[in-house]
Amino acid sequence: MIPCQRDLFDIPEGVTYLNCAYMSPMMRAVAHEGRAGLERKMQPWKIRPADFFTQSEELRACAARFFLCPADDIAIVPSASYGIQMAAGNLPLAPGKKILVLEEQFPSNFYPWQRLARRNSGALRTVALPADGDWTSAVLSALNNDVGIAALPHVHWTTGGLLDLTRIGAACRELGIALALDLTQSLGVYPFDVNAVQPDFAVAAAYKWLMGPYSLAVTYVAPKWQQGFPLEESWLQRANARDFSDLRYTDAYMTGARRFDMGEHSNFATMPAAIAAIRQLLDWGVHEISETVGALNRHLLQRLEPLGIQIWPERLRAPHYLCLRSDRLPTAGMVEKLAAEGIYVSLRGASIRITPHVYNSVEEVERVGDRLLELAVKDKSGLRA
Ligand SMILES: Cc1ncc(COP(=O)(O)O)c(C=O)c1O
- Which runs of E-coded beta strand occur in the chain? 16-17, 74-77, 98-102, 123-127, 147-153, 178-182, 201-205, 217-221, 322-324, 343-344, 346-348, 351-354
Return d(Cα 343, Cα 211) in angstroms, integer.
Answer: 20
- pTM of structure: 0.96
Residue to substitute in 163, 185, 231, 270 for testing ligand 1 pocket (most ligand atoms within 8 angstroms of CB): 185
Expressed in angstroms and rounded, the spacing between residue 189 Cα and the centre of ligand 1 is 15
> Which atom of ligand 1 sits closest to the CA of residue 78?
9
CB of 19 shorter than 6 A to ligand 1? no
Tens of pLDDT, residues 171-206: 999 999 999 999 999 999 999 999 999 999 999 999
Of the candidates 320, 323, 223, 321, which has an alpha carbon nearest to the alpha carbon of residue 281? 320
Q: Which atom of ligand 1 is nearest to the CA of 109?
A: 3
Question: pLDDT tens track of the chain, all 385 residues?
Answer: 999 999 999 999 999 999 999 999 999 999 999 999 999 999 999 999 999 999 999 999 999 999 999 999 999 999 999 999 999 999 999 999 999 999 999 999 999 999 999 998 889 999 999 999 999 999 999 999 999 999 999 999 999 999 999 999 999 999 999 999 999 999 999 999 999 999 999 999 999 999 999 999 999 999 999 999 999 999 999 999 999 999 999 999 999 999 999 999 999 999 999 999 999 999 999 999 999 999 999 999 999 988 888 788 889 999 999 999 888 888 888 899 999 999 999 998 778 999 999 999 999 999 999 999 998 887 654 433 3
Atom 7 (ligand 1) nearest CA: 80
CA distance 324 to 353: 6
Q: Rounded to the nearest whole angstrom, what is the distance from the C-alpha of residue 314 to the centroid of ligand 1?
A: 24
For residue 217, report the distance from its CA to the centre of ligand 1, in Å. 10
Q: Is 290 a pocket residue for ligand 1 (Cβ < 6 Å)?
A: no
For 214-230, the pLDDT digits (tens) are 999 999 999 999 999 99
Give yes or no for residue 85 CB within 6 A of ligand 1: no
> Does the beta carbon of 81 sit less than 6 angstroms from any atom of ligand 1?
yes
Q: Ligand 1 pocket test: pick from 79, 106, 152, 210 the residue with the most ligand atoms within 8 Å of its Cβ.
A: 106
Asked whether 184 lines ligand 1 (CB < 6 A), one says yes
CB 64 within 8 A of CB 74: yes
User: What φ, ψ does residue 191 adopt, rounded to 5°?
Assistant: -60, 145
> For ligand 1, is residue 203 a contact (CB within 6 Å)?
no
* Nearest Cα residue to 135 out of 90, 87, 186, 84: 186
pLDDT score at 380: 55
Residue 205 Cα to ligand 1 middle (Å): 7
For the Cβ of 33 lying below 6 angstroms from any atom of ligand 1, the answer is no
Which residue's CA is the closest to the ligand 1 atom numbered 10? 81
SS3 181: strand
